[in-house]
Amino acid sequence: MASTEYTNVDCQSVSDLQALLWGVGLKDEVFSRWTQGLVFSDDEATALIQYEGGPCAVIAPVQAYLLKRILFSPTAKDSITDVTGEEASEYLFEALLEMVCQVAQDNYTLVCMDDCDMEAHTSAADSQETGQRSPKRRKLDQETFHAKLKCIKCNEENHLRISLKKLFRQYQGDYGVLLYLYSILLTKGIEQVKNEVEDPSEALIDGTYGHGSQSLINLLLTGKAISNVWDNDKDVSGLRLQGIKKQSPVGFLTLLEHLRYCEVGWFLKNPKYPIWILGSETHLTVLFTKEQSLVTQESPELNAKHIFSRYDPEGNGFISTSMLDEVLSALDLVSEKEYVDIMKTKLDAENLGIITQHSFMQEFFPGQVIQDVPRNFTLFHYNGLSRSCSHGKVVYQEASVRLEDELEVQIVTDTSPVKCCLQTKWPTIELTWKSGSTPSLN
């Protein structure tokens, strides 16, 4: 049987972790805000609670994968309210396991502390088991915490499952969010993270304000620490900037797109499951529904459009005729020179030097069926900060949604941030919140 014994995290790895995550000059106040566990709300059995600003960069993605497990796994419940506290913990365990597996194929690392070190710092987990709140413990300072880090190394998924089960209670304790985040980073590999981010010198967490970067959010959502949210790679003034290359299980929408600060691509707007992280300027929340038809599953036609778009990074709707052989090869279609020459003549009959996406799709993928999107459905919103929730209770907010047929010129009565954010995916969306109050994105 595989060992689950602790080994020390070597000093160099700890130093590299701190530099990657926090940069220099980490404020004690920021570190303290991140020292919490993955703890369920007293008022919603399956909702994780966030005590202070900052750790939403981990808590919101974990909540999203938790909801994916609850709503769409083989053991999914008919209603989220049917989930017991014990079942919620099991779904959380499976979500954490899935997210670690997403960043690596093998050789996983779970960061932890010795049982004796953690004994006085599992108050959150204890309180959830007993239903009682434990007395406030004095937390470790950042130097002491980092000096006490240990890990369990796993070389295959079953070993990972056994080890995670052993450490699960720690991840619900006072340092759980950080221990789990460090596990993700060491499993991914510090150098690999640096290779994926746009600016390796920029810390993944702002050391002054404690907010997670887009690279950190993308790492937890997609398994890759890409800094951008558009589809595929872009060439900007000769600089190749990486984007999202495939559908992720969970999506991402942001108020910053409404404000014209960024462009979220098809892959993140249309994840495999109808669950999205919602980003404001400073906080992350989660939107979800059971309406699977709101997202489009990948198909040969959609894949062809995405491949075509890689060769059209400016989004002009056409590629150079000289690129046709590369596009056909990328799609595993016939790409011998004689055939390609015939198709160039057909698709660029006027010899303009370009081939449009429309003509390409009509030739190679005719008769594409457009999936109908429901016009009426129910959405739920989650915000883990109790101070941002109505009556200070972390519970799901339910909304009845209608997608209007056309975007008409009308008197705008709802300019809430949450609606503006959702309009980046559904421009004609109208929402009626069951509670009568609009939830906060902050």
Strand partners, 431: 401
- Please give the helix or strand (H or E) that residue 343 lies within, else none: helix 337-347
87 in helix, strand or coil? helix
How far apart CA 226 and CA 213 sit, in angstroms, is 10
> Is residue 4 a contact partner of residue 109, using CB atoms and an 8 Å limit?
no
Task: Provide Rg for the chain, Cα atoms.
Answer: 24
Give yes or no: 151 in active site.
Answer: no
Cα dihedral value 10, 16, 19, 25, nearest 10: 30
How far apart CA 6 and CA 111 sit, in angstroms, is 9
Q: Which of 56, 112, 389, 421 is catalytic?
A: 56
Tell me which DSSP letter residue 244 carries.
B
Provide CB contacts within 8 A for 275, sequence distance 6+. 64, 67, 68, 71, 249, 250, 251, 286, 287, 288, 289
- Which amino acid, 420? C
> Cβ atoms within 10 A of the Cβ of 246, count?
13
Q: Is 120 exposed, middle or buried (0-12, 13-18, 19+ CB in 10 A)?
A: middle
Pairs from 237-241 (Cβ < 8 Å, separation ≥ 24): 241/198
Give yes or no: 159 in active site.
Answer: no
Angle at 193 (CA atoms; ends 192, 198), nearest 5 degrees = 115
CA-wise closest residue to 190 among 200, 180, 179: 200
Token digits of residue 298: 């990948």
CA-wise closest residue to 59 among 249, 274, 285, 213: 285
17 in helix, strand or coil? helix
Q: Which of 121, 146, 211, 283 is catalytic?
A: 283
> Is residue 6 a contact partner of residue 152, using CB atoms and an 8 Å limit?
yes
CA 346 to chain centre: 43
How far apart CA 344 and CA 78 sit, in angstroms, is 53
Q: Please give the positions annotated as active site.
A: 56, 283
